[in-house]
Amino acid sequence: MSFDACAALVERGDPMRFRATMAVPVAARRVLFPLYAFNLEVARAPWLTKEAMIAEMRLQWWRDVLAEIAAGGPVRSHEVTDALAQVLDPQGARDLDALIDVRRWDIYSDAFADPAHFERYIDGTSGALMGTAARLLGEADPQVVADFAYGSGVANFLRAIPALENEGRRPLVDGTIDGVRELAQTALKRLDSARGRHRAVSGAAGAALVSGWQARPVLDHAARDPQSVAVGGLDPAPFADRLRLLRVATFGWWR
């Protein structure tokens, strides 16, 4: 029932990853749904309250969960933790702890200090999640996964810009047209680098990368028309999006 609860949670709160997960083999879903449910709980924790201390406490609760999993002892009961503890190993628990740590940026209104700070945020969120999922599923070159995760993470972040700005945040280090274009182009290069080395990721581990099926069209759009980022104009056309997911699910995440 905990696994079913995780799937339902992802379906409601992260429909993009839900669609991607339903497009991969059932065995992979048993790993991905608990991980994505955990990620959803952590990602939304800073936004559930205006009180920074309460948000910090929410994130600390999940850090304590990961510490319990890493220690191999009893894990506090929760609809997500029950399933998560069944699929996550100590290394994964330690890697996901870093994800929670960088999510603390979401609590406060401070801008990223510099491009390196922004890159650590993307690597610590998208990279840690995709890297952990791929490692648990099968053999994969960590750098290939990290490059693909960076491209996917930047694409998702760019789509979130209007919402972040509505919350009074300054989400980009360089929000100028040239700055947005350069960021999208850099992410595209890393995405294409990963796609060019796709044989270094096994078919089993590749199921973790299917969630990035929208990254290339989103980044292409942002590179061509950086102004569309500010107005939320990066969402792919529904019909083309369905076809792309079908192609990726059929032929592989690098298509």
Domain end residue (candidates: 68, 85, 108): 108
Question: CA 22, CA 25: separation in Å to the nearest integer?
Answer: 8
**Claim to verify: residue 118 and residue 227 sit in the same structural domain:** yes
Question: CA 252, CA 230: separation in Å to the nearest integer?
Answer: 31
Neighbours of 102 (CB within 10 A): 17
Report the chain (255 residues): mean pLDDT per 10 consecutive residues: 92 97 97 98 93 95 96 91 95 95 93 96 97 98 98 98 93 96 98 97 98 98 97 95 96 94
**Claim to verify: residue 213 and residue 245 sit in the same structural domain:** yes
**Claim to verify: residue 98 and residue 212 sit in the same structural domain:** no
**Claim to verify: residue 49 and residue 123 sit in the same structural domain:** no
Entry field: residues in the chain:
255
In this prediction, residue 171 carries a pLDDT of 95
**Claim to verify: residue 174 and residue 101 sit in the same structural domain:** no
**Claim to verify: residue 59 and residue 137 sit in the same structural domain:** no
**Claim to verify: residue 185 and residue 157 sit in the same structural domain:** yes
**Claim to verify: residue 86 and residue 36 sit in the same structural domain:** yes
Question: CA 226, CA 240: separation in Å to the nearest integer?
Answer: 21
Which of 203, 211, 212 has the alpha carbon at shortest distance from 138?
A: 203
Angle 167-169-175 from CA coordinates, rounded to 5°: 130
Structure tokens at 31: 């790993």
Give the chain's domain count: 2
**Claim to verify: residue 202 and residue 248 sit in the same structural domain:** yes
In this prediction, residue 116 carries a pLDDT of 96
Domain end residue (candidates: 108, 126, 147): 108
CB within 8 Å of 210: residues ≥ 6 apart: 20, 21, 23, 24, 245, 248, 249, 253
- Segments in 104-237 forming alpha helices (H): 115-122, 128-137, 142-159, 161-166, 177-196, 203-206, 215-224
**Claim to verify: residue 76 and residue 46 sit in the same structural domain:** yes
In this prediction, residue 7 carries a pLDDT of 97
DSSP codes of every residue in 206-253: HGGGGGGTTHHHHHHHHHH-GGGGTTT--PPPHHHHHHHHHHHHHH-T
**Claim to verify: residue 244 and residue 133 sit in the same structural domain:** yes
In this prediction, residue 1 carries a pLDDT of 62
Which of 91, 85, 89, 31 has the alpha carbon at shortest distance from 62?
A: 85
Residue for token digits 């992979």? Answer: 28
Question: CA 94, CA 206: separation in Å to the nearest integer?
Answer: 22
**Claim to verify: residue 217 and residue 119 sit in the same structural domain:** yes
In this prediction, residue 9 carries a pLDDT of 97
Domain end residue (candidates: 108, 129, 148): 108
Residues spanned by the domain of 50: 1-108
Q: What's this model's pTM, rounded to 2 decimal places?
A: 0.96
